[in-house]
Amino acid sequence: MKPSVEEIGALLALKRHERPEEGYFDDFLREFHHRRREEEVLKSGPSGWLRRASAWFSNLGASRWAYGAGLAYATVTALFLLAPDAPREQPAAPVPVHYKVAPAEPAAVEQLKALDLHPSSQGSTGEQEF
């Protein structure tokens, strides 16, 4: 048996009551604004970051002075740490020292001189003693 058009309409009308869960639209709005802010920053590039930072700073109220002092201190510290070192005093150039170096007589020659190489002490030529 076919349902009538009215019956189908009544069945479908029950779906009117479908709703997202409680609190859904609070989260939805938060996400919507978050996405929008990110979109704006992406579109505007580095100048957008700067504008955002300055808007945040101007919205701080009285505490902006504390933040400002902190920022200044951090900047000075960073400059101090990152600045290149002052040129140091160069050490004096080494003074050349001139020594006269006399070559020593080779030890081997002396040893040779000390040896008695005369034939009398060596025995006769062609004579061998057994």
Partner 1 sequence: MPDDPLQPDPDEDLVTRAQNGDTRAFDALILKYGEKLYGLVYNMTSHKEDTHDLLQDIFAKAYHSLPRFRGQASFYTWIYQIAVNMTLNFLKKRKRRSGMSLNELDSSIQLDPALVDTSHLANPEKQSKLHELQKRLNEAMLSLSEAHRTVVTMFDIQGLPHAEIARILKTSEGTVRSRLHYAHLHLQSKLQDYWE
Residues of this chain that bind partner 1 (CB under 8 A): 1-5, 7-9, 11-20, 25, 28-29, 31-33, 35-36, 39
- To the nearest whole angstrom, how small is the minimum distance from the Cβ of residue 50 to partner 1? 20
- To the nearest whole angstrom, how small is the minimum distance from the Cβ of residue 18 to partner 1? 5
16 versus 100: smaller Cβ distance to partner 1: 16
- To the nearest whole angstrom, how small is the minimum distance from the Cβ of residue 53 to partner 1? 20
36 versus 113: smaller Cβ distance to partner 1: 36
Residue type, 114: A
Torsion sign over Cα 120, 124, 125, 129: negative
- To the nearest whole angstrom, how small is the minimum distance from the Cβ of residue 49 to partner 1? 20
Rounded Cα distance between 69 and 56, Å, is 16
Sequence-ordered list of residues with C-beta below 8 angstroms from that of 60, at least 6 positions apart, any chain: 67
